[in-house]
Structure 1
């Protein structure tokens, strides 16, 4: 019997629209050494937990009552994630799905006032993966440019 991931993904992504408009207050990551397992976004609309589902083939979003405490207990950790500090205090203006089950399913979160950066949480099953990493997340940041720049165009602009 083949799994119909589309049904599961639709259910697990139901909270995407609720994330839009939320202001991020804090970001924490659950690590089961050495893998990322859950991303927690504390916002003014609640705490969103983004995690792998079934065996990490696709992601799900949950709304929690409380942000988990920072801890480090024998390889189980909840920590802040400084890479994402630039998103703290920012309002989420768009959230969309990327990839599909077993092929990099995840979400990309866009923020007001910083259109050149996005927060990306994605299944480890995104093409090639590190050896010995299973059922975990890839965390990333999209960095975008909107203007073609060359040494020549930079010189032209400085003369204006």
Structure 2
């Protein structure tokens, strides 16, 4: 069996560490990859946010809409720059308010399907983004396939 390379690992994200910042970095990448945009552009946008040290919900919220739009534009994520900046701010604010951290969110989801449902309760997160997130989180947090 040929094992598919981890996309998180390609982005320099160490999900196996189970550290909150690594988990949030993957979540952030999934929010960007969930839009119908070229993979290379979404990856550039992710790398711009990481280079600007926007790797926590607090950092995203502190950066604000104008800074997010600037960084997204710099990565040529221009078609969705305004809506994605809004999405990032709203999802990060909602995450902080509801769960505090992604680790807390995962702790409240006993199964991968429960996590998918919880993710999709967030405004702006649909099945595509949830599927992308779970593709790499499921094997690390949930022992059996669900």
What TM-score do the two structures reach when normalised by structure 2? 0.31
Would you tell me which structure has more strand in proportion to its own residues?
1
The higher radius of gyration belongs to 1
Would you tell me which structure has more helix in proportion to its own residues?
2
Relative contact order higher in (CA < 8 Å, ≥ 6 apart): 2
What TM-score do the two structures reach when normalised by structure 1? 0.29
